[in-house]
Amino acid sequence: MRRIEIAPSILSADFGDMRGEVKRLERYGADRIHIDVMDGHFVPNLTFGPDLIRSIRGATDLPFETHLMIERPDLYVKRFADAGSDTLIVHYEAKHSVSRTLKAIGKLNKEAGIAVNPETPISSALGSMEYADMLLVMGVHPGFGGQKFMPSALDKIRRAKERGKSGVRIGIDGGINLNTGLKAINAGVDELIAGSAIFDSGDMRKSIKDFKKLCSTAKL
């Protein structure tokens, strides 16, 4: 049976209390923490670097999944690995040799993920999966939380499930709420990433509980 995980994105968390936020996420039942790194070049927004990861690493035992929305991930994967990331996700569209970066992540003994933007055909990414442990399908144009889910992502998930390397975890990121999350689960995802749906809900505990319920009761 497929186990579906919920990974809250701390892009929508209180940046002034990140340690408290990840502790709460763990207490309320999150499976992993999704950390969005943006460089102001690959996407038109800036967030945090390895030092933030290092400073919250001790606050939780949950795995850290670091989503690198940066132009040259190849130059930074080691620093993000050393800071305490368990998974490093790099973009297919960034300026690097995707296979070489994924291989380098594997050599650091970290899980390697490849992310695909809405305009990138899934077939392109599937051709670079040799060293990947995870595939992250974007449901929005990366850069900001709170955007509307693009349904074209569902077909990508289906195709990746059918034609992709077996054993690769498929995640969906951007625009996920209980409604779009269910569609993504039915399309075949293993992991839901959600930012605003959890942090802006007014009741984080209930929101995570609802997502967990969705993950466990969806028809698999």
Which residues are designated catalytic? Answer: 36, 173
Quick one: which of 74, 173, 190, 210 contacts ligand DX5 (CB under 6 A)?
173
* Residue with Cβ nearer ligand DX5 (42 or 131): 42
Question: Which listed option, ligand DX5, Zn ion, none, makes contact with residue 145 (CB within 5 to 8 Å by class)?
Answer: ligand DX5
- Can you name the residues that pair with 89 across neighbouring β-strands? 67, 113
Residues 67-126 that bind Zn ion (CB under 5 A): 67
Interface with ligand DX5, residue 193, by CB under 6 A: yes
- Written as one letter, the residue type at 62 is L
* Residue with Cβ nearer ligand DX5 (36 or 190): 36
Residues 40-69 that bind Zn ion (CB under 5 A): 67
Cβ neighbours around 185 below 10 Å, total: 22
**Residues sharing a CB contact under 8 Å with residue 156, sequence separation 6 or more, in sequence order:** 116, 122, 137
Q: How far is the CB of 10 from ligand DX5 (least distance, A)?
A: 8
C-alpha–C-alpha distance, residues 157 and 18, integer Å: 31
- Can you name the residues that pair with 115 across neighbouring β-strands? 91, 136
Contacts with ligand DX5 by CB under 6 A: the residue count is 21
- Can you name the residues that pair with 69 across neighbouring β-strands? 38
Residues 22-61 that bind ligand DX5 (CB under 6 A): 34, 36
Interface with ligand DX5, residue 195, by CB under 6 A: yes
Compose the 168-207 pattern: x for residues touching Zn ion by CB under 5 A, - for all others. -----x----------------------------------
**Residues sharing a CB contact under 8 Å with residue 89, sequence separation 6 or more, in sequence order:** 65, 66, 67, 68, 112, 113, 114, 115, 134, 136
Part in contact with ligand DX5 (CB under 6 A); list of ranges 54-62, 117-125, 160-168, 188-196: 188-196
Token reading at 28: 């309320």
* Residue with Cβ nearer ligand DX5 (44 or 107): 44
Q: How far is the CB of 195 from Zn ion (least distance, A)?
A: 8
Interface with Zn ion, residue 36, by CB under 5 A: yes
Secondary structure of 29-58 as H, E, C letters: CCCCEEEEEEECCCCCCECCCHHHHHHHHC
User: How large is the greatest C-alpha to C-alpha distance in the chain, in angstroms?
Assistant: 43
